[in-house]
Each structure stands twice: as C-alpha cells, then as structure tokens.
Amino acid sequence: MKISINKKLLLSFISIILISLLITGITSTLMIDKRFNLYLLEEHKEKIENIKSMIHSAIKKNQVSPDFDKEGLTKYAVAENYIIKITDLNNNIIYTTGMYPHMGHQKNGHMMGPMMERMFKNMFQSYNEDIYPIIYDNKEIGKLTIGYFGTSNISKEAMSFKLTLYKSILISSFMAIIISALISILISRQLGIPIREITKASKAIKEGHLSIRTNIGTNIHEISELSSSINNLAHTLEKQEALRNRLTSDMAHEIRTPLTTIKSHIEAFMDGIWQPTPERLRDCYDEINRLHSLVENLEDINKLDKANYVLNKSYFRIDEELKRIVNSLIPQFNKKNIKLNLNSKVKTEVFMDRDKFKQIMYNLLSNAFKYSHENSIVNISCYTENEYLYIIVQDFGVGISKKDLPHIFEHLYRGDLSRTRSTGGSGIGLTITKNLVQAHGGTIEAKSDIVNGTVFSIKFLLKKIRTKVSDDAF
C-alpha cells in the first residue's frame, strides 16, 4: 500500500525519535542505576566502618561494660536506618539498637509486635544482615551484627532522589516526543506540500496543460531547483509547441498556394481554356520548385532534430575559401543589384570541416540576400584579434525587431510573419548555423535594428581551429 510523503516522513521521524529515546533512556537508566548503586555501596561501607570505629572506641574506654550510647552508636544507627546487635562469644546479647525484626525486645524493654515487622517487610524489598567479628588486642571478643534493608541500606531520601531522577528522564522523554512530533509534522509539510504541487504540475504538463507553473516558496535548495526545472520545462515545451503550431500553419499556407496555382493551370489546360504555352509551363515549374524548396526545409528540420552532423575536418586557407564562396554567390546577388564586398587580410590555414564552413557562410549570406534592399551592399570581413578569428557579415536591409532578435537562433523560430513569408524562411537556417559554429568551438552573435540592418559576428579561438585538437561531432 502506497502512502503519502507526509505520512512517510512523519512515521519515519517519529520511529527514529522513539528508537533514539528508547536507546538513550535505557542506556541512561542503566548507567545511572549502576553508578548510583556503586555510590550507595561505597557510602554503606563507609558507614559500617564508622559503626566499627564507635564500637572499638567504647570497648577501649571500658572493656568490661562499654557504653555504646555514649559513643553515639544508637543515634547514628537510627539516623542511618541500621539495626545493630552486639553479642559475646556465647551469643549473649550485649547491645542492640532495637527495632530489630527478629528480636522480641529492645534494650529499654519495648516490644516490637508483628504489625511493626509486617510494616518493615512491606516497606522494603529485603532485609539483610552482615556479621563481623569484634577484635580487640588481636582477640575475638564478640560479634557485630548489622541489619539493613535493600542491597546497601538505601535511605528514603536516596530512594526519593533515584525515583525523581527516573521521573525526570520519563518526563523529558515525553516532552521530547511531543516537540519532535511537532517538528516532524512541520518538516514533513515543508517537504510534502511542495513535492505534491510539483507532482500535480508535472501531471498537468503530461496532459498537455503547458501554461501551468509552480509557485513554491521554499528555502530547500533541491526542491527550489526542481520547481524551477519543472517551470523551465513547461515554458520550453509551451514555446516549442507554439513554434511547431506556427510552423505547421505557415507550411500549410506555403504549400497550399503553389498547389492551388498548379491545379488551376492544369485544370485550364484540361478544359481547353488555356494553351500550354512556355510561359504558363514556366509558372508551373516555378511553383514546383517552390514546393521542392519547402520539402528541403522540412528535411533540414528532421536533420536538426536528429542532430546527426559529423565534422569531417581538413586543412584549408580560410581567405581563399571565403573568396570562392563570394564569387559563387555574385550572380545571385546581381539579380537584386546587391554588391558583395569581401575584406579579408587573414592568410590563416585552419583545420575545420570545409563543407560545414560553406554551409555557415551560405546560410548567413542567403539571409543577407533575402532581407537586403535592391541596389544595396553586403559586407564580409575577416580578421584576427587577441588570439581569435572573427568573421563579420553585415547587410543594410530589413532589420530584425527587438522582440524577435533574442530568439532568431532558436529551433523553428520565425519572426514577423509577413517578413518571413515573403522570403520563404522556415526558421531553421540560423539554428543550423549556430550549431555548426558551436561544433567548431566558436560562437555567433547578431545585432540588428529596423533602420540599419543586421550584423552577424562569428568568433573562433585560433588554437582550436589551427590544429587537430579534437574531432568534435554532435
């Protein structure tokens, strides 16, 4: 049977507390009891020696008829709860303190009846007697019998102290259990409630409610990190879902237009309304090319999702490669009368994937071509500075809005609909470009505004692209 984390934590805490208190209580009781009994035994021995000393002192003063009362033996025995009997070698009683259960009389002749004996027997667990020889001048002249109750003649005060100590341990343990239970409830709630909220949010995300967020106020680092991760996951999924929906909508619109054009042309040919002239066939061919381009974009998206780029590195001169790329694109840029300017004084041989480098530059220059005005300029600069190689692509065309600029490298992101739709962008080219740059250990940034156009800056660490450091793949 599964139980909630609150109950699990509470039961665990209480079990640990009870076991700890039980072990502590038993250990403390045994240690205190052992030490206390040892103390009482030592004290009992000391008292026995005091009694012997009094007896020897009385005998020394008067061997024939010693006065034990004068030595304070009776008062001491009464004060310390001892029952003392002194006999001669013939077992005749010479002295007794009285109150002796096994005697029928006291020195002063008072009788101790059965009621008194039962009272003493009930008051204490056991009655004990120790017999010691009385030695004087190296001769045994009698016997000393000392009676007491318990193992070491524990007094009422000592017993009361011992019981009070045990009682304090019991009360302390009870209070510790209550306080610990309250703290356990508080801790279990601090852990349980946030985890339940996070679990609830994750279930909602699983069911497609991507707008949900957890708002958990906790000072527990791990739970705070978990909550933040769930929120970031929901935000990323929500954004990706929106991008995919937008891409699907855009692709449907882009595909519908050429299909409608081709269909209308073919229907007109079939109905004899139009003749299949070269111009009209050219229109159909252009629309088919447009569909082909859209399919290639979808293939690029699939490649990016699978992340199956493998770098095939080789040595080549970067300035010569840039010249070849620019020369190959001049005819295309001439269609809009856009001038391509290459400014490169770098004659560095690099160790990179030549085809992937071409793809990086073609993607950036293709963007520059799409969004540049006719009769404008696109500048390409290549230079080294502080152990870095920089490649700059600058156009003076339609800039990127501040709202869209932070997202242009994101997967499937497309900016203004009219802007991207007019150029046929799919929101994948810059993502591929960024990944290829990073695969070579570089970084790419973009600066743009609506008035002055866009600048893309690529930066490579020279020591990483000049030698065979590693064959990175992703």
DSSP for 176-244, written as a single string: HHHHHHHHHHHHHHHHHHHHHHHHHHHHHHHTT-TT---------HHHHHHHHHHHHHHHHHHHHHHHH
The tokens for 246 are 């937008």
Confidence of residue 119 (pLDDT cuts 50, 70, 90): very low
The tokens for 459 are 């930066």
- Name the one residue in this structure whose structure tokens are 């056991």: 126
> Beta strands 314-317 and 339-344: pairing type?
unpaired
Residue with the bigger pLDDT between 314 and 15: it is: 314
| CA–CA distance, 157 with 354 (Å, rounded to integer) | 99
Q: How many CB atoms lie within 10 A of CB 143?
A: 16
Which pLDDT value is given to residue 467? 60
Which among 348, 380, 351, 350 is positioned nearest to 364, based on CA atoms?
380
The residues pairing with 444 across neighbouring beta strands, listed in sequence order, are 458
Residue with the bigger pLDDT between 159 and 232: it is: 232
At 123-147, the pLDDT tens digits run 445 778 889 998 888 888 889 998 8
Which residues contact residue 309 at a Cβ distance below 8 angstroms, ignoring those fewer than 6 apart?
Answer: 303, 356, 435, 436, 439, 473, 474
| CA–CA distance, 224 with 232 (Å, rounded to integer) | 12
Phi, psi dihedrals of residue 394, rounded to the nearest 5°: -125, 130
What value does the mean pLDDT take over residues 59-65? 84
Residues 191 and 222 sit within 8 Å (Cβ to Cβ): no
Confidence of residue 250 (pLDDT cuts 50, 70, 90): low
Q: Residues of the chain with pLDDT > 70: what percent?
A: 82
| CA–CA distance, 361 with 403 (Å, rounded to integer) | 25
Which residues contact residue 345 at a Cβ distance below 8 angstroms, ignoring those fewer than 6 apart?
Answer: 319, 382, 383
Quick one: how far is CA 302 from the chain centroid? Answer: 36
Which pLDDT value is given to residue 164? 82
Residue 175 has pLDDT above 60, yes or no: yes
CA distances to 189, 218, 337, 338, 368 from 329, rounded to whole Å, are 66, 58, 12, 11, 12
Ranking 60-69, 297-306, 427-436 by mean pLDDT, the lowest is 297-306
Q: Is 144 left (phi over 0), alpha (psi -120 to 50) or beta?
A: beta
Q: How many CB atoms lie within 10 A of CB 10?
A: 19
| CA–CA distance, 320 with 25 (Å, rounded to integer) | 86
Which pLDDT value is given to residue 361? 93
What value does the mean pLDDT take over residues 390-397? 94
| CA–CA distance, 354 with 317 (Å, rounded to integer) | 10
Confidence of residue 404 (pLDDT cuts 50, 70, 90): confident
Which pLDDT value is given to residue 375? 93
Which pLDDT value is given to residue 357? 93
Which pLDDT value is given to residue 136? 83
At 456 the three-state DSSP class reads strand
Which pLDDT value is given to residue 351? 93
Q: Residues of the chain with pLDDT > 90: what percent?
A: 18
Which pLDDT value is given to residue 411? 62
What value does the mean pLDDT take over residues 239-249? 75
Confidence of residue 223 (pLDDT cuts 50, 70, 90): confident
Which pLDDT value is given to residue 166? 77
Residue 377 has pLDDT above 90, yes or no: yes
What value does the mean pLDDT take over residues 36-49? 84
Domains contained in the chain, CATH given: 5-162 (no CATH), 238-306 (1.10.287.130), 314-466 (3.30.565.10)
Which pLDDT value is given to residue 338? 94
| CA–CA distance, 412 with 140 (Å, rounded to integer) | 115
Residues 450 and 377 sit within 8 Å (Cβ to Cβ): no
At 319-371, the pLDDT tens digits run 999 999 999 999 889 999 999 999 998 888 999 999 999 989 998 998 899 88
Total residue length of the chain: 474
* Mean of pLDDT over the chain: 79
Confidence of residue 249 (pLDDT cuts 50, 70, 90): confident
Quick one: how far is CA 450 from the chain centroid? Answer: 46
Ranking 35-44, 109-118, 281-290 by mean pLDDT, the lowest is 109-118
Report CA torsion sign: 228, 229, 231, 232.
positive
Which pLDDT value is given to residue 340? 94
Report CA torsion sign: 200, 201, 203, 204.
positive
Residue type for position 469: V
CA distances to 180, 196, 212, 252, 348 from 230, rounded to whole Å, are 32, 13, 10, 32, 47
What value does the mean pLDDT take over residues 146-159? 73
Residue 100 has pLDDT above 50, yes or no: no
Confidence of residue 115 (pLDDT cuts 50, 70, 90): very low
Range picked from 1-10, 91-100, 350-359 for highest mean pLDDT: 350-359
What value does the mean pLDDT take over residues 286-293? 80
CA distances to 126, 412, 450 from 402, rounded to whole Å, are 97, 18, 9
Q: How many CB atoms lie within 10 A of CB 437?
A: 21
